[in-house]
């Protein structure tokens, strides 16, 4: 593993200062044009040299006939070309002195035997010139902190802390908006394609050193070299959590992977074993992979698995308790001393048990400050799962009832929400215990965004919160073992 991110062989591929781009034109329906558009849209600060056989300009940039005509040696070549001519162009790039390439073109190993042969040619060419390349059959990279997105959809949202290495380009390019809606964002995401040269292990190692990446996630159809993967992951997981989604454990999944990237996947249990041996947290779905990232990237692992649940509403409380029980978390009964402290805040129709149910809540400051304070002080509990029903919208409703003017309401309500979010954040920090929210509110609701901003993850369903809390606990157990 490289000592720092700048020592990684991928550094200038992921953080290039200049790019030569093959396969973009002024025809908007072509893949290459869309990809160059994405690079321009995001406002990449470096030089871009489109190469085109006939056009004088491409998307407003001066175009060049051949890479050999360029006055400088670009850091990175991006190739979105018909399969047949990829090898020749890669060779020209090598001759020019370019040492990093992203080969987007498909039609190689994933397609047929001829493709396997063509892919071998690429590897030989790259070796000859000392080049490293990503792909073929990939979408390249999205480095949000470097304002570089080579995929065909425009980047959305803000730079985040999720580092991803994916054997499917879709899970890079098609997740920008999804992540943004969930209060997340990529730090750097890499679509590895066929991994003819750079593989998912090297990407994982890059992300391990990337200072913007707090959690790594992997979409895996097949691990080609189990030993290498295990060794690398074992070096990373003590310092940075890694979440993986593995597709291919079922027969239809295996067949689909094979046709997608030519990957030969293995039995589900084998992968389960591999992940367990190196402390990688396995997710059951794409959605869950990002749920886990949201929690593992935001809060530190707990000291134990004793969960206390706080709710206004019996149903969500019971659902969360049941889900915690199923996921191997403990939900211990409320000690009498804490119950006594809670009593003033809980009406007779509520419960000072675990879950604490304050039913119809009047005072959000009690809910977000005094009650969590009672629950998290001392050693009775290691984590708090809190139900979020409060919203700026509800405050605005009350304010309207109180006769406050429309134009003042929004700002007042938001300021009030910010205040209670500060309180709950402080409870977590002071007590050094993870707080995880769950809520049926829209992800765009002000309080959800305000909590995310303060590193309190809020999951959209009690079960998803319990699963994520269990993942956090799994990671804690792994780190303790070391």
Subset of 21-80 contacting a second copy (CB under 8 A): 28-29, 31
Nearer to a second copy, 5 or 90 (CB): 90
Residue 186: CB minimum distance to a second copy, A: 14
Site for a second copy in 397-426 (CB under 8 A): 397-398, 401-402
Among 152, 292, 395, 473, binds a second copy (CB under 8 A): 152
Which residues lie closer than 8 Å to 241 by C-beta, 6 or more apart? 215, 216, 281, 296, 297, 475
Dihedral angle over CA of 177, 182, 187, 189, nearest 10: -50
Residue 332: CB minimum distance to a second copy, A: 9
Q: Which helix (H) or strand (E) holds 221?
A: none
Contacts for 346-355: CB closer than 8 Å, 24+ residues apart: 351/314, 354/308, 354/309, 354/321, 355/308, 355/309, 355/310, 355/311, 355/314, 355/317, 355/318, 355/320, 355/321, 355/331
Among 272, 284, 408, 411, binds a second copy (CB under 8 A): 284
How many beta carbons lie within 10 A of that of residue 286, not counting itself? 17
Residue 12: CB minimum distance to a second copy, A: 27
Side-chain-facing half-sphere of 44: CA atoms under 13 Å: 25
Nearer to a second copy, 137 or 455 (CB): 137
Stretch touching a second copy by CB under 8 A, among 8-16, 60-68, 439-447, 472-480: 439-447
Among 137, 213, 294, 390, binds a second copy (CB under 8 A): 137
* Per rule CB under 8 A, count of chain residues that contact a second copy: 84
Site for a second copy in 222-281 (CB under 8 A): 245, 247-257, 259-261
Cβ atoms of 21 and 152 within 8 Å: the answer is no
Provide φ and ψ at 196, rounded to 5°. -60, -35
The DSSP output letter for 224 is: S
Cβ atoms of 161 and 182 within 8 Å: the answer is no
| 130: three-class secondary structure by DSSP | coil
Residue 348: CB minimum distance to a second copy, A: 6
Is residue 462 a contact point for a second copy (CB under 8 A)? yes
Nearer to a second copy, 98 or 324 (CB): 324
Residue 323: CB minimum distance to a second copy, A: 7
Among 125, 166, 213, 294, binds a second copy (CB under 8 A): 166
The DSSP output letter for 64 is: B
Nearer to a second copy, 1 or 286 (CB): 286
Q: What 3 state SS string does 292-343 have?
A: HHHHHCCCCCCCCCEEEEEECCHHHHHHHHHHHHHCCCECCCCCHHHHHHHH
From residue 171 to residue 190, what is the string marking binding to a second copy with x (rule CB under 8 A)? x--xx-xx--x---------
Site for a second copy in 316-345 (CB under 8 A): 316-319, 321-326, 330-331, 333
Name the token pair of 413.
Answer: 């309500």
Stretch touching a second copy by CB under 8 A, among 48-56, 232-240, 312-320, 335-343: 312-320
| 425: three-class secondary structure by DSSP | helix
Among 159, 304, 314, 335, binds a second copy (CB under 8 A): 314
Residue 53: CB minimum distance to a second copy, A: 21
Residue 354: CB minimum distance to a second copy, A: 8
Site for a second copy in 72-131 (CB under 8 A): 83, 106-107, 110-111
What order of strands is seen across the sheet that includes strand 76-79? 47-51, 18-22, 76-79, 100-103, 132-134
From residue 341 to residue 380, what is the string marking binding to a second copy with x (rule CB under 8 A)? -------xx-x-xxx-x-xx-x------------------
Is residue 381 a contact point for a second copy (CB under 8 A)? no
How many beta carbons lie within 10 A of that of residue 64, not counting itself? 18
Residue 429: CB minimum distance to a second copy, A: 27
User: Strand 47-51 vs strand 242-246: parallel, antiparallel, or unpaired?
Assistant: unpaired
Nearer to a second copy, 146 or 396 (CB): 396
How many beta carbons lie within 10 A of that of residue 252, not counting itself? 9
């Amino acid at each position: 593993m490289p000592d720092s991110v700048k020592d990684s062989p991928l550094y200038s591929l992921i953080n290039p200062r200049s790019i030569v781009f093959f396969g973009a034109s002024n025809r908007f329906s072509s893949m290459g044009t869309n990809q160059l558009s994405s690079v321009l849209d995001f406002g990449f600060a470096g030089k871009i040299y489109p190469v085109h056989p006939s056009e004088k300009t491409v998307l407003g940039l001066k175009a060049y006939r051949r890479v050999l005509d360029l006055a400088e040696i670009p850091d990175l070549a991006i190739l979105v070309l018909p399969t047949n001519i990829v090898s020749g162009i890669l060779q020209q790039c090598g001759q020019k002195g370019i040492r990093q390439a992203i080969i987007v073109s498909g039609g190689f190993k994933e397609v047929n035997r001829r493709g396997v042969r063509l892919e071998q040619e690429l590897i030989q060419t790259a070796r000859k010139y000392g080049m490293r390349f990503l792909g073929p059959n990939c979408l390249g990279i999205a480095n949000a902190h470097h304002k570089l997105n080579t995929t065909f959809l425009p980047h959305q949202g803000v730079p985040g802390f999720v580092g991803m290495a994916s054997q499917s380009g879709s899970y890079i390019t098609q997740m920008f908006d999804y992540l943004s809606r969930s209060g997340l964002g990529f730090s750097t995401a890499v679509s590895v394609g066929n991994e003819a040269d750079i593989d998912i292990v090297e990407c994982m190692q890059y992300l391990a050193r990337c200072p913007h990446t707090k959690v790594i996630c992997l979409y895996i159809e097949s691990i080609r070299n189990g030993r290498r993967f295990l060794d690398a992951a074992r070096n990373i997981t003590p310092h940075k959590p890694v979440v993986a989604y593995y597709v291919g454990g079922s027969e239809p999944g295996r067949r689909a992977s094979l046709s997608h990237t030519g990957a030969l996947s293995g039995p589900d249990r084998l992968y389960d074993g591999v992940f367990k041996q190196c402390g990688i947290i396995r997710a059951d779905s794409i959605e869950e992979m990002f749920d886990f990232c949201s929690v593992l990237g935001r809060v530190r692992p707990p000291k134990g698995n004793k969960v206390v649940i706080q709710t206004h509403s019996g149903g969500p409380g019971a659902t969360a308790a049941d889900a915690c029980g199923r996921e191997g978390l403990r939900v211990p009964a409320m000690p009498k001393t804490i119950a006594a402290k809670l009593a003033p805040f809980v009406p007779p129709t509520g419960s000072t048990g675990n879950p604490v149910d304050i039913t119809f809540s009047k005072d959000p400051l009690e809910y977000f400050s005094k009650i969590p304070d009672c629950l998290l002080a001392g050693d009775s509990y290691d984590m708090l799962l809190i139900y979020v029903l409060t919203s700026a919208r509800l405050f605005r409703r009350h304010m309207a009832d109180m006769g406050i003017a429309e134009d003042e309401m929004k700002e007042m309500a938001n300021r009030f929400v910010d205040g209670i979010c500060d309180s709950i954040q402080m409870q977590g920090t002071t007590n050094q215990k993870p707080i995880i929210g769950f809520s049926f509110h829209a992800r765009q609701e002000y309080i959800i965004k305000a909590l995310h901003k303060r590193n309190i993850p809020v999951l959209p369903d009690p079960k998803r919160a319990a699963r994520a809390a269990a993942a956090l606990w799994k990671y804690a157990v792994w780190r303790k073992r070391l």
